[in-house]
């Protein structure tokens, strides 16, 4: 017979679980009230697709000076603000950046969650989920500007070269020189260039991610660039171009054999 004041063990575990969840929820609400998320309200600058150079325009901050930052456009944080084991958020306090995450403590059947704050040496823009690194040297500012310009120039040059190859290929076809060796090789070159363009974006962002992880921290850091946004289309075009190249090459060999028999 169960005493009227006793509680079934399973029900007691359920009650304790509900109490712990309520405490965690209250703790989360209190933290949201206590933490001042400064972030970046707005900024100006320019980007080369992978990296950018920007100046903060946060006039609500106590520091009115415009600071210069290196922006890692496709490297961000895996933010998860819902309370739970994967909880991760970024906030600033007294001009310093912090990562806040959960730590789960298990004692028997009971679980409790506490928050761990870790100071980080970078800033974060929640607007486009990108990492911002303060640039304190005019040399590095000039170096980054030169790197961005170089990337833009190379990108334009490669695309213009690709367009030139395509136009020359069409001109050769119109002159009945479709199966000339030079023209057939243009197809192979175009397919290789398209493949490189399709893979280079993720490759460069992965290198930036590795360098950042080694110099700072990989905790919570993710590559936000998606291969399936547009790069896959270039790879498909590359594959189609190579198939066309293979067909044209076979036709070229047949034409050469026919010319030899005449």
Report the alpha-carbon distance of residue 67 to residue 56 in Å, rounded: 6
Dihedral sign (CA 257, 258, 259, 262):
positive
Q: What is the mean pLDDT of residues 178-201?
A: 92
Dist. CA 245–CA 191, nearest whole Å: 8
Helical residues (DSSP H) of 63-218, grouped into ranges: 138-174, 181-215
Is 115 within 8 Å of 31 (Cβ atoms)? Answer: yes
Integer Cα distance of 194 and 238 in angstroms: 5
Task: Return the domain boundaries, the chain.
Answer: 9-136, 140-261
Q: Which residue has the higher pLDDT, 15 or 119?
A: 119
Helix or strand (DSSP H, E) at 196: helix 181-215
Residues forming a β-bridge with 225: none
Task: State if pTM tops 0.75.
Answer: no
Q: Is 40 exposed, middle or buried (0-12, 13-18, 19+ CB in 10 A)?
A: buried
Lowest mean pLDDT among 9-18, 92-101, 236-245: 9-18
Residues 157 and 53: their CA atoms lie apart, in Å, by 22
Rounded to whole angstroms, the Cα distance separating 108 from 20 reads 14
- Both structure tokens of 112: 């409790």
Helix (H, G, I), strand (E, B) or coil at 115: strand
- Determine what percent of the chain is predicted with pLDDT higher than 90: 23
**Collapsing DSSP states into helix, strand and coil, what is residue 169?**
helix
Check pLDDT > 60 for residue 9: no
Q: What is the mean pLDDT of residues 131-156?
A: 89
Question: What average pLDDT does the chain have?
Answer: 78
Tokens representing 260 are 């030899």
- Sign, Cα dihedral of 175, 180, 185, 188: positive
Residue 160 reports pLDDT greater than 90: yes
- 16-25, 103-112, 231-240: segment of lowest average pLDDT: 16-25
Per-residue model confidence (pLDDT) at position 47: 59
Which ranges constitute the DSSP H helices of 35-137? Answer: none
Q: How many CB atoms lie within 10 A of CB 89?
A: 20
Q: To which H or E segment does residue 176 belong?
A: none
């Amino acid at each position: 017979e169960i005493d009227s004041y006793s509680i079934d063990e399973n029900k007691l575990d359920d009650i304790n679980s509900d109490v712990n969840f309520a405490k965690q929820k209250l703790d989360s609400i209190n933290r949201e009230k206590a933490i001042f998320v400064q972030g970046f309200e707005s900024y100006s600058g320019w980007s080369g697709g992978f990296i950018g150079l920007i100046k903060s325009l946060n006039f609500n901050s106590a520091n009115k000076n415009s600071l210069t930052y290196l922006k890692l456009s496709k490297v961000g944080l895996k933010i998860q603000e819902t309370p739970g084991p994967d909880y991760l958020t970024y906030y600033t306090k007294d001009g310093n950046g912090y990562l806040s995450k959960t730590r789960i403590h298990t004692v028997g059947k009971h679980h409790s969650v506490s928050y761990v704050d870790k100071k980080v040496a970078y800033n974060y823009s929640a607007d486009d989920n990108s990492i911002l690194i303060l640039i304190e040297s005019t040399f590095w500012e000039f170096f980054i500007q030169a790197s961005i310009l170089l990337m833009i120039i190379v990108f334009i040059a490669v695309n213009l070269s690709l367009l030139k190859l395509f136009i020359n290929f069409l001109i050769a076809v119109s002159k009945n020189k479709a199966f000339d060796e030079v023209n057939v090789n243009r197809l192979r070159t175009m397919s290789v260039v398209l493949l490189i363009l399709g893979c280079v974006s993720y490759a460069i962002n992965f290198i930036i991610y590795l360098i950042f992880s080694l110099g700072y921290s990989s905790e919570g850091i993710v590559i936000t660039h998606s291969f399936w946004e547009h790069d896959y289309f270039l790879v498909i075009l590359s594959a189609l171009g190579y198939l066309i190249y293979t067909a044209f090459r076979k036709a070229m060999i047949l034409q050469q054999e026919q010319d030899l028999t005449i």
